[in-house]
Each structure stands twice: as structure tokens, then as C-alpha cells.
Amino acid sequence: MSLHSLFNFAALCLSIILVILVEPPLLAFGVNRGSFGAIKSAAPPPPEQVGLCAAAVLVHGYKCQEFEVTTDDGYILSVQRIPEGRVGGGGDKRQPVLIQHGVLVDGMTWLLNPPEQNLPFILADNGFDVWIANTRGTRFSRRHANLDPAKPEYWNWSWDELVLHDLPATFGVVYSQTGQKIHYVGHSLGTLIALASFSEGRLVDKLKSAVLLSPIAYLSHMTTALGVLAAKSFVGEITTLFGVAEFNPKGEAVANFLKSLCANPGVDCYDLMAALTGKNCCLNGSTVENFLKSEPQSTSTKNMVHLAQNGMVSKFDYGNADFNVEHYGESKPPVYDLANIPHDLPLFLSYGGQDALSDERDVGLLLDALKFHDLDKLAVQFIQDYAHADFIMGVDAKDLVYNAVITFLRRYQ
């Protein structure tokens, strides 16, 4: 792995984990007090025991259905359907909307705010048929036809496989159940796999429009001065982390790395989080507390490495020309050419000025790749004060983002 990729991987891991694990005042690091983790409190049975519908949807008076779909490489994914709003209505042909979460979280993330503030319920109450995806490896999608999640073989995938297998499987179940083209809403990694898929002409025959919140395609401007320390510290832990196929933010290897980093003289992990991820402006304290109880979720270490390679949007780089030739027939991994996304596909992009993961300069590169897109089919929204998590948990996201999303979706019903 090159120094640049190592740097990006360190910064990516820290930025995503710290935005999840370091949100004052609900988390106690206590490096000198012998504790490192979330403050624990009494909780009901974990959602994985009862399912997402029972844990977070039915309790609010909405109908909800659980579906399972098996990808063509054997992963068994959980998908939830909220077919209508609390008061029903909307007719028999409600437009389906598929919602895809980002990395290190699952579908629960969309449902942590109160019903009047979270996107799935708002969409349902506005007449849409809402479907929630859960990526392989997360708690609701942690099964396989043959492989054991406790074994490394289960975790031998990156976001390439999400493009090739997970996204087509979830699109397939929605399309088969509704018989209608699909509106797609993705956040973070959910935008990357969509862009890559559409660039290869995948799924566009089943797609009505796409909404991309905090879009990530290029990650070349994610670095900060504090990242230098992160990269230096990461060198000592890279072997340990790469030896673990499952990248579990709650696991010992990751926790020890963060613990050692936060113990460095002069390093304030709260400041580090803000510097690496952007300071979320608009999160409710109780929602953050629910988030800390619910997340983070596992992904594969290979997926994290692939994300760190995104100076260009390309398939996984095996770091060796011979290995790349073995997998792709060429020495370098093939590029996903985003300019090949159909120019008449309706797209809505929303990004924030404080987001260090979806940095506005990198979004600028994405927009440049879309420069030949039909102007009347590309809507772009910029919110100066928003950072990465505000788009899914911000208390004012309904007013600033979701209302605009609904207006956009209705334009293409």
C-alpha cells in the first residue's frame, strides 16, 4: 500500500469511527481512568433479536414488512418495507423509494430521530412506498448461504461487491414486489455504490431518479494536518488491523488504536473528530444517545482499504500489478467512469460546507465528471453549516433537505 493510500486509510478510519464514537457529552474516553467506550445504560432487547420493523417502525404506528433477499454470491440481506404513512392513503400505486445507508452503520440510522424528523417516515407520510436496505455484514444482514461470519472468507469483499451483488439484489426485491421503477436515496457509501453502478449502466432500467446525500466519489481532499499524526500512529497498527478480516469499530484492535492515539500528549479527541470529519451542527442529544446505543456496525477491512484508495473511482487495487492482472486482466484496476452515467437520469445532490468526508472540493470533482449531464435533470443543493451526519440525523434536515428531496421525487413520479 502506498504512503498516500495508508494516509487516506488512517484518516478515513479515524474520521468515520470518531464521528460515531466521540460525540460529547455522551461518551467517556477516560484514557487515564481505564475506560474507553460508550456509557452503558439499560436497554431493551437488541434490535437484531426482534428485527428492524419491530424495533423502530411498528412502535410508532407505521406498518412494516420484513423481507430477505439472497445475493447471487450467497449473502442474505434484510430489507424493510414501510408501505404507507400512519394514516394510510396514497392509492395502490405509491412510488417505491429505496434508501441505502453508509459505511459502519445500517438501516436503523435513518430511524433514530422522531417520526416527524426522520426521512423514511416523512417519505411514507408523503405518499411513498419506502424500502430500507441493510448492507452485508451489518447486524440484520449477517448471514450467508454457506459462509460463517466468524470466518475470514465471509469478509472477503469491498464496495465492488456491493455494486455487483447487494444493490442489484435489493433493487430486485423492490421491483419484483412493486412492478414500478424505483427512486433511490443514498447517503455516503450509499452514494458511491450507486454512482459506480449507474456508470456501468447497471440498474438504470429499473431506476426513476437518484438522490445523493453527502456524496462521496473522490476522497482526495479528506486529509488534514492532524492526519499526519494519525498516519504515523497507524503504521504501528496496520498489520494488526489487516490481519482482521472483519473491521469491527467495537473490536479490540480498533479500540486499542484509538486509545493510543487519544493518549498522545496534546491530542484532544474531540478536536480531532471535528478536524477529521467536520462538526455536525444540528444533532439532537437524545438522537446521538440512541445512535451510540445502536451503532457502529461492522464492515470488511478490505472495504475500508478500498474506500481509502479513492483518489479515483476505481475497482479494488490489489497493490500488485500481477494480482491486478489476475483479477482484471490489466495491471491497474479499471476505473468507474462517472461521465458514463446516463445524462438524462434525474439526480439530486446535497452536500455540506462542514463535511470533511464529503469535502466540497471533492464534490466539485464529482460535479465536473457530471458536467455533460442534462441541466434540467441535475439538481444541486449546498448547505454551508452541514456536516456528514446532519443529513440523516439533523433536527432541521426535514426543512433544509427532505422537503427539497420530496419536491424533486414528485417531479419525476
Give the tens place of pLDDT for each residue, 154-186: 999 999 999 999 999 999 999 999 999 999 999
Does 20 score more than 60 pLDDT? no
Mean pLDDT, residues 56-78 taken together? 97
How would residue 2 be classed by pLDDT, with cut points 50, 70 and 90? low
Give the tens place of pLDDT for each residue, 80-106: 999 999 987 666 689 999 999 998 899
Mean pLDDT, residues 364-372 taken together? 96
Residue 43 buriedness (CB in 10 A; 0-12 / 13-18 / 19+): exposed
Does 22 score more than 70 pLDDT? no
Structure-block grid coordinates of residue 126? 408523503
Q: How many CA atoms lie within 13 A of 203 on its CB side?
A: 29
Asked which of 164-173, 195-204, 288-297, 372-381 is least confident by mean pLDDT, the reply is 288-297
Check: pTM over 0.95? Answer yes or no. Answer: no
Mean pLDDT, residues 371-388 taken together? 95
Residue 244 buriedness (CB in 10 A; 0-12 / 13-18 / 19+): middle
How would residue 402 be classed by pLDDT, with cut points 50, 70 and 90? very high
| Residue 74: per-residue pLDDT | 98
Mean pLDDT, residues 4-14 taken together? 57
| Residue 171: per-residue pLDDT | 98
Mean pLDDT, residues 342-371 taken together? 93
Exactly one of 129, 160, 355, 390 is catalytic; name it. 355
| Residue 87: per-residue pLDDT | 82
CA angle 213, 390, 208 (to 5 degrees): 20
Query: Would residue 355 show up in a list of annotated catalytic residues for this protein?
Result: yes
| Residue 231: per-residue pLDDT | 44
| Residue 26: per-residue pLDDT | 37
Mean pLDDT, residues 320-346 taken together? 96
Structure-block grid coordinates of residue 235? 503504521
Does 244 score more than 60 pLDDT? yes
Give the tens place of pLDDT for each residue, 256-308: 766 666 666 655 555 444 444 557 788 877 777 777 777 788 888 888 888 87
Query: Would residue 188 show up in a list of annotated catalytic residues for this protein?
Result: yes
More confident residue, 8 or 322: 322
Asked which of 38-42, 53-57, 98-102, 124-128 is least confident by mean pLDDT, the reply is 38-42
Query: Would residue 388 show up in a list of annotated catalytic residues for this protein?
Result: yes
Q: Share the mean pLDDT of the chain.
A: 83
| Residue 242: per-residue pLDDT | 56
Exactly one of 129, 373, 388, 390 is catalytic; name it. 388
Residue length, the chain? 413
Omega prior to 96 cis, within 30 of 0: no
Cα torsion at 102, 313, 19, 185 (round to 10°)?
-30
How would residue 126 be classed by pLDDT, with cut points 50, 70 and 90? very high
Mean pLDDT, residues 41-58 taken together? 77
Cα torsion at 104, 26, 35, 42 (round to 10°)?
-90
Q: Would you call 289 helix, strand, or coil by DSSP?
A: helix
More confident residue, 101 or 8: 101
Asked which of 4-8, 51-55, 128-132, 384-388 is least confident by mean pLDDT, the reply is 4-8
Q: How far apart are CA 167 and CA 193, in angstroms?
A: 8
Mean pLDDT, residues 2-14 taken together? 56
Q: What is the largest CA-CA distance in the chain?
A: 62
Asked which of 219-233, 370-384, 398-412 is least confident by mean pLDDT, the reply is 219-233
Mean pLDDT, residues 335-356 taken together? 95
